[in-house]
Structure 1
Amino acid sequence: MKLDSPIFDRIRVKPDRDRRVKAEGPACEWAGCCNAATHRAPKGRQQEGQFWRFCFDHVREYNQSYNYFSGMADDAVAAYQKDALTGHRPTWKMGSRGGGAQASAQASQHSADGFGDPFGMFGEVGGRARPEPEPARESRMIRNAERRAFESLGVEVSATAEEIKARFKVLVKKYHPDANGGDNSTEDRLRDVIQAYNHLKSAGFC
């Protein structure tokens, strides 16, 4: 194949000239301009979806002076910007289901029925804060060895630390040999009481 063949030139990565067909577009709509219209510019308020066609230089000049709110009063501009926050869609106050007598009747019904409103968001329609739940008492697993220790001291498993200590002091005074005139027959019972108290103390009950 010859290097200067027109067929070889078509498969080059960079041909010597642009062979793409150029379609002529619309002309710039700026007065007195004959350049191609390569950019669009919005026509303005109440003409949404409609555009001017300008060249690059004139679309830049148009955008510098473009003002969507041109001719509107300040109050109208503020109202428009406020409605734009919700996409110009109607909104209602949170918790309301209507107005007039219907809303009052529904509020009365909700107030009579009552429903939990822990964050106070629906007070206007009958919501009321729920009372704080009472803190649950700490429940601990009671093993068999601990149950036997409670039985040895003669106290309930729900006894407090102060009750266990007070009961232990009473039993020690009762079964100690010095309190029984030197009688050693209660030593075994005293030993059980001391072991039971030490076990409950190591388990964190007293």
Structure 2
Amino acid sequence: MKGRGFLITILTVLLAATFAAGDARAAITCGRTVTANIVAIDQPVLFNRLGASNVNGMIFALRRDVINMDSFLTLNNGGAATPGNVMLRPDKRPRPLVLRVREGDCLTVNLENLLALAPNPNNLATDQFTVLIDEQVADRHVSFHVSGMQLVDGIQSDGSYVGANVTDSTVPQGGSTSYQLYAEHEGVFTATSYGATLGSDANQG
């Protein structure tokens, strides 16, 4: 009887925890919903004025700040969103992307993967350079994983594909998805792509 009572107690605690978690997710109410339309692109990055750079950089950018390389039109004004054929507007420089919401707000991130099909697309085809620049990861998936914000609609907004997760919430090359996030507390929360977590030097991708 003691063992049975112990088992019933454990089951009661587990059920209570399950209902509490369900109630917590159901209790999310957005004060506002802020929407950010973001693209992942290949973009040469100049780190300083001494010339340190990465010709095969990969960045997130607002869709309105990206142009088609043939028409030079922004993607919001008729420019074709062709993977591998887009770049940051000439009047913009690669900088940290900051998205701001208030405590209690929801953030919708519409992410589009416009990386080139093959990695390292900006290598120069010339005999003047003998060093192969191959620092990009071979996998072309990207995601927008924010540590510290709550998932509004479940694991599909986590921007990951790990463990026993059935849902792959990363985005393949040429694809797009939306993430729904909730700012439960004030703070600074880092967004990372979990499309490929290891780079060529075993560093974070």
Shorter-chain TM-score above 0.5: no
Higher RCO (C-alpha 8 Å, min separation 6): 2
For normalisation by structure 2, the TM-score amounts to 0.16
Q: Which structure: greater strand fraction? A: 2
Structure number, greater radius of gyration: 1
